């Protein structure tokens, strides 16, 4: 279905979960997860809504930094909750000695501890792969090829290409896993459902199937835009030392987030040649981060979005 069919834009966005979907509306956030017995459980998510955030974080650039951090916080919490709901059938499995020891130490907080530890390790791995490794590789090549040394333009382009290649390779490998493939199917259901709502069509499985699974406001697009903006920011960092360059780039992350958010927000509110060009890299990437959903997955998306649709739908973008 062409985007030209859309007659309104909304701030509603979402996130694929384990056997479910989380939707964030202008005033409310909810998640819908299918449990092992086949039922869809819908729960409200306690979080700060865009309309309630501090005034300073509604300003351009700053709102992007706030939204990214807040999305990570809420997303990780709902992901943990969806894992609990979707894995209820496995609660009686016997624990290994190591798991039992951890359970004795942390009790009911064990699952949260493991997820938090995994998140910390994930962030550390991301810093290593996306900041340290590309910069270190270029520095190594510069020792072999002297003409590369001191060329900030080539360094920034090289590092940017490395980051995108690592990101694409990581996502592609994830799609090879059956469980992650299902998450990406839920991702497709989320996008198609939002498109259907924006087109003011009735939220039914048959209607939603007609729409594309590629949406310009997707988090995947945001990450790709951040990587591209990072290339431009990197051109301004006139430093060759790997650790210092990495540190400065990490300090520039809030700025990159802010700029990336404004670009995605602009593309989500306008549909023209310019915004389609801006959205193109992220839309291409969605060919491997979304898959066509099954009917039961679309049903979850419908339940999630219905829980956050505001009574007054005028001027929804916050």
Per-residue pLDDT tens over the stretch 229-252: 988 888 888 887 888 888 898 899
DSSP H helical ranges for the chain = 62-86, 97-106, 110-127, 133-144, 152-175, 178-198, 205-209, 219-234, 242-251, 253-269, 273-289, 295-306
Nearest to 33, CA basis, from 18, 50, 54, 49: 18
Characterize the bridge pairing of strands 29-34 and 40-44.
Answer: antiparallel
What's phi and psi for 234, nearest 5 deg? -60, -30
pLDDT single digits (tens) 64-105: 888 888 888 888 889 888 988 987 545 445 656 665 665 666
0.85 cut: is pTM over it? no
Average pLDDT over residues 291-303: 96
pLDDT at 111 over 70: no
Place of tokens 């479910």: 20
Nearest to 239 by CA among 258, 252, 256: 252
Domain boundaries, the chain: 3-306
Mean pLDDT computed over 275-281? 86
Q: Taking Cα atoms as reference points, which of 135, 89, 113, 98 lies closest to residue 230?
A: 135
- 42 and 31 Cβ atoms separated by less than 8 Å: yes
Nearest Cα neighbor of 264 from 243, 246, 283, 248 is: 283
Residue located via tokens 């998640």? 31
pLDDT given at position 98? 61
Q: Quick check: helix, strand or coil at residue 71?
A: helix
pLDDT computed for residue 50 by the predictor: 66
- Residues 2-54 have pLDDT tens digits of 444 445 667 788 899 999 999 988 888 999 999 999 999 999 988 766 667 78
- Compare 201 and 311 and report the one with higher pLDDT: 201
- Grade residue 1 by pLDDT with cuts at 50, 70 and 90: very low
Q: What is the mean pLDDT of residues 266-280?
A: 83
Average pLDDT over residues 283-309: 94
Kindly indicate the confidence band of residue 211, based on its pLDDT and cuts at 50, 70 and 90: very high
For residue 314, how many other CB atoms are within 10 A of its CB? 6
Q: Is the pLDDT of residue 318 over 50?
A: no
* Percentage of the chain lying above the pLDDT 90 cut: 31
Cα–Cα dist 283/218, whole Å: 8
Please give the C-alpha separations between residue 143 and each of 25, 245, 279, in angstroms, as whole numbers: 52, 17, 37
Mean pLDDT for 223-227 is: 88
The answer to whether the beta carbons of residues 282 and 222 sit under 8 Å apart is yes
pLDDT at 289: 92
Which residues make Cβ contacts (< 8 Å) with residue 192, sequence separation at least 6? 208, 209, 211, 212, 213, 293, 298, 301
* C-alpha to C-alpha distance for 159 and 167, rounded to whole angstroms: 12
302 alpha-carbon distance from chain centroid: 20
CA distance 269 to 21: 23
The yes-or-no verdict on residue 110 having pLDDT over 70 is no
Taking a C-beta distance cutoff of 8 angstroms, is the pair 316, 12 a contact?
yes
- Residues counted in the chain: 318
Q: How much of the chain exceeds pLDDT 70, in percent?
A: 85
Dihedral of the CA atoms 191, 192, 197, 200 (nearest 10)?
A: 140
pLDDT in the model for residue 4: 42
pLDDT digits (tens, 9 = 90+) for 246-268: 889 889 989 998 998 898 888 87
């Amino acid at each position: 279905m062409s985007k030209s069919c859309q007659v309104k834009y909304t701030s509603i966005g979402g996130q694929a979960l384990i056997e479910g979907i989380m939707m964030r509306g202008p005033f409310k956030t909810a998640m819908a997860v299918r449990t092992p017995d086949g039922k869809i459980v819908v729960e409200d998510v306690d979080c700060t809504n865009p309309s309630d955030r501090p005034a300073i974080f509604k300003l351009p650039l700053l709102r992007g930094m706030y939204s990214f951090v807040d999305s990570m916080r809420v997303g990780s919490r709902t992901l943990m909750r969806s894992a609990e709901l979707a894995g209820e059938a496995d609660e009686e499995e016997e624990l290994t000695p190591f798991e039992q020891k951890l359970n004795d130490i942390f009790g009911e907080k064990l699952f949260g501890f493991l997820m938090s530890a995994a998140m910390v390790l994930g962030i550390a791995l991301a810093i290593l792969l996306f900041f340290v490794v590309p910069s270190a590789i270029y520095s190594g090549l510069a020792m072999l090829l002297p003409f590369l040394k001191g060329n900030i333009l080539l360094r920034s382009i090289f590092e940017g290409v490395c980051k995108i290649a690592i990101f694409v390779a990581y996502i592609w490998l994830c799609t090879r896993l059956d469980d992650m493939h299902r998450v990406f199917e839920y991702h497709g259901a989320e996008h198609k459902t939002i498109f259907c709502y924006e087109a003011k069509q009735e939220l039914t499985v048959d209607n939603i199937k007609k729409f594309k699974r590629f949406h310009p406001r997707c988090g995947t697009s945001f990450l790709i835009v951040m990587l591209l903006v990072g290339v431009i920011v990197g051109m301004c960092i006139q430093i060759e030392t790997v650790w210092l360059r990495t540190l400065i780039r990490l300090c520039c992350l809030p700025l990159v987030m802010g700029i990336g958010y404004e670009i995605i927000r602009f593309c989500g509110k306008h549909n023209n040649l310019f915004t389609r060009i801006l959205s193109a890299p992220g839309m291409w990437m969605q060919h491997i981060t979304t898959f066509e959903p099954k009917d039961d997955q679309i049903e979850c998306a419908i339940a999630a979005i219905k829980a956050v649709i505001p009574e007054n739908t005028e001027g929804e973008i916050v």
